[in-house]
């Protein structure tokens, strides 16, 4: 779909959403609700077919209109889909015109050229432009996913965004992130391109969300059998709110901000008001959750500790993409392979290094630290410190987050010189080190942690 040249940031109205459990009645329509209690309901297949024929009738009546949603495609492909409809809207107060003028003068509202540059930079290297596409191209993306995927359609007659979720996809916990992405995307489009919503043209967008894309071609990715998507498919752009692949696995996938407080919500706030979130501002008495910069700790580069530091939680790593990677087994990987003829710590480090290639990244970092401590201890240089300081501060134990020092699994590694147990470190303490590293967890990266390190 295309966007107009008028890039004003302010909308005439906003959609608010409250989720409630879908009715067991498949034919139930949206009920009348007050503006204070908008809802989401499940729509039936017959109602989707009615939508298709309604669009077809409008095409007949407006032959010169360019519609990206083709009625025949709707009739063929939409019946297998379940529809989520935002039923109610409420008006938002218009912003003061003086604020609007000030934002323009300050350059907060970008020029068309700046928008185009930002647009190009946001796309993956293999996809620097978006070709025109139709609904069939959007629907081709459905089978690329296991779950957490929406087809978003804007219906100008109802002035409503509709999100379609396939009945063939499981409804998983990460759909909550997808719904949040959907709500903010719909509102952001209204904010930034209000003129687009004064026309009678429909459009469709494919969106997904999650720590990483819930794609269906897992085996292809695991065995590196690229390309995993047929080159004959002309799949529409897929806006993924979360981490995307660095390789050209889904060529039309475009990275979008993670739907969490210090990412997507902050960017949306900037679009609305031109104001930074507290998450990006310096930490202080009035902002205890802000970032820690050099000025915060009052140190220069030469004052910092020359080591690579990391603290975090022992968590799984891309279990579907990299199922062979694991945490170490103390008995098999360490105790059972130790050489009793040499010093215990050195023997333990040698033993666990034999399993190094099988370990998840964060445990590999622990192995680096164990090796670095050995090297520092053997060094003849006065004041030598380990070059790596990568340890766990927390873990999941019996379904609860716990300190690693309280869990026997980690204690046994620590007892023989493999430093899995680390003390918790505040951002101020972490900022006293010269080097920082992002070691991926369940989604391949820790977005919040990366932001903190950039500070």
Whether 282 and 290 have beta carbons less than 8 Å apart is answered as yes
Measured from the Cβ of residue 201, the count of other Cβ atoms closer than 10 Å reads 16
Whether 173 and 205 have beta carbons less than 8 Å apart is answered as no
Q: Which pLDDT tens digit goes with each residue over 273-285?
A: 999 999 989 998 9
Q: What is the mean pLDDT of residues 416-442?
A: 92
Check residue 101 and give its pLDDT: 45
Residue 26 has pLDDT above 80, yes or no: no
Check residue 434 and give its pLDDT: 93
Bridging pattern class, strands 149-155 and 400-403? unpaired
Whether 182 and 163 have beta carbons less than 8 Å apart is answered as yes
Check residue 237 and give its pLDDT: 94
Secondary structure (DSSP) of 294-311: HHHHT--GGGSEEEEEEE
CA distance 283 to 198: 43
Ranges 86-90, 374-378, 412-416, 446-450: which has the least confidence: 86-90
Check residue 106 and give its pLDDT: 52
Ranges 269-278, 318-327, 338-347, 358-367: which has the least confidence: 318-327
CA distance 363 to 326: 9
Residue 10 has pLDDT above 70, yes or no: no
- For the record, the structure tokens of 307 come out as 């080591």
The fraction of the chain above a pLDDT of 70, given in percent, is: 72
- For the record, the structure tokens of 87 come out as 């039923």
Q: What is the mean pLDDT of residues 150-170?
A: 94
Order of strands, sheet of 160-166, starting from the edge strand that comes earlier in the sequence: 40-43, 81-86, 160-166, 149-155, 203-209, 238-241, 253-256
Residue 66 has pLDDT above 60, yes or no: no
State the Cα angle at 436 between 433 and 441, rounded to 5°: 140
Q: What is the mean pLDDT of residues 344-365?
A: 95
Residue 50 has pLDDT above 80, yes or no: no
Q: Which pLDDT tens digit goes with each residue over 236-258?
A: 999 999 988 888 888 899 999 99
Query: Between 188 and 26, whose confidence is greater?
Result: 188
Check residue 264 and give its pLDDT: 92
CA distance 70 to 404: 56
CA distance 282 to 269: 18
For residue 392, the cross-strand partners are 312, 421
Main-chain dihedrals φ then ψ at residue 307, nearest 5 degrees: -145, 160
Check residue 445 and give its pLDDT: 73
Main-chain dihedrals φ then ψ at residue 139, nearest 5 degrees: -65, -25
Residue 330 has pLDDT above 80, yes or no: yes
In angstroms, the Cα distances linking 265 to 89, 423, 430, 443 are 20, 32, 26, 19
Return the top range by mean pLDDT from 35-49, 94-108, 303-317.
Answer: 303-317
Check residue 129 and give its pLDDT: 65
Query: Between 61 and 244, whose confidence is greater?
Result: 244
Enumerate residues 6+ apart whose C-beta is below 8 A from 156. 197, 199, 200, 201, 202
CA distance 155 to 163: 11
Residue 38 has pLDDT above 70, yes or no: no
Query: Between 452 and 43, whose confidence is greater?
Result: 452
Residue 178 has pLDDT above 50, yes or no: yes
> pTM to 2 decimals?
0.67
Mean pLDDT of the chain: 75
Ranges 176-180, 300-304, 357-361, 450-454: which has the least confidence: 450-454
328: pLDDT confidence band, cut at 50, 70 and 90?
Answer: very high
Check residue 48 and give its pLDDT: 40
Check residue 105 and give its pLDDT: 56
Q: Which pLDDT tens digit goes with each residue over 114-123?
A: 333 333 334 4
| DSSP 8-state secondary structure symbol assigned to residue 237 | P
Q: What is the mean pLDDT of residues 261-281?
A: 90
């Amino acid at each position: 779909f295309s966007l107009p040249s008028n890039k004003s940031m302010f909308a005439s109205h906003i959609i608010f959403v409250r989720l409630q459990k879908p009715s067991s009645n498949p034919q139930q329509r949206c009920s009348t609700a007050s503006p204070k209690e908008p809802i989401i309901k499940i729509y039936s297949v017959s109602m989707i077919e009615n939508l298709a024929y309604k669009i077809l009738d409008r095409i007949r009546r407006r032959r010169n209109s360019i519609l990206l949603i083709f009625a025949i495609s709707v009739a063929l492909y939409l019946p297998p889909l379940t529809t989520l409809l935002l039923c109610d809207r409420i008006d938002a107060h218009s912003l003061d015109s003086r604020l609007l003028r000030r934002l323009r003068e300050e350059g907060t509202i970008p020029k068309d050229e700046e928008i185009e540059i930002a647009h190009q930079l946001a796309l993956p290297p293999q996809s620097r432009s978006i070709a025109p596409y139709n609904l069939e191209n959007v629907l081709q993306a459905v089978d690329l996913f296991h779950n957490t995927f929406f087809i978003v359609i804007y219906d100008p007659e109802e002035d409503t965004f509709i999100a379609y979720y396939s009945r063939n996809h499981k409804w998983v916990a990460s759909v909550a992130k997808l719904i949040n992405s959907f709500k903010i995307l719909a509102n952001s489009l209204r904010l930034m391109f209000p003129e687009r919503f004064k026309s009678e043209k429909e459009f469709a967008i494919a969106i997904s969300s999650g720590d990483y894309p819930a794609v269906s071609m897992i085996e292809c990715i695991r065995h590196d059998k690229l390309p995993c998507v047929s080159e004959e498919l002309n799949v529409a752009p897929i806006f993924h709110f979360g981490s995307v692949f660095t390789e050209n696995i889904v060529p039309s996938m475009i990275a979008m901000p993670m739907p969490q407080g210090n990412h997507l919500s902050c960017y949306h706030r900037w679009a609305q008001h031109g104001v930074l979130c507290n998450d990006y501002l310096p930490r202080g008495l009035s902002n205890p959750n802000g970032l820690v910069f050099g000025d915060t700790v009052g140190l220069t580069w030469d004052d910092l500790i020359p080591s690579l530091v990391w603290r975090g939680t022992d968590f799984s790593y891309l279990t579907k993409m990299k199922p062979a990677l694991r945490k170490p087994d103390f008995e098999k990987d360490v105790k059972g392979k130790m050489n009793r003829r040499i010093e215990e710590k050195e023997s333990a480090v040698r033993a666990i290094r034999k399993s190094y290639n099988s370990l998840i990244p964060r445990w590999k970092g622990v192995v680096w630290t164990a090796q670095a401590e050995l090297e520092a201890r053997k060094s003849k240089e006065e004041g030598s410190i380990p070059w790596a300081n990568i340890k766990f501060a927390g873990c999941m134990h019996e379904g609860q987050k716990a300190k690693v020092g309280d869990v026997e699994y980690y204690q046994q590694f620590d007892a023989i010189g493999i430093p899995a147990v680390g003390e918790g470190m505040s951002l101020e303490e972490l900022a006293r080190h010269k080097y920082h590293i992002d070691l991926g967890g369940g989604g391949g990266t820790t977005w919040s942690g990366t932001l903190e390190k950039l500070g």
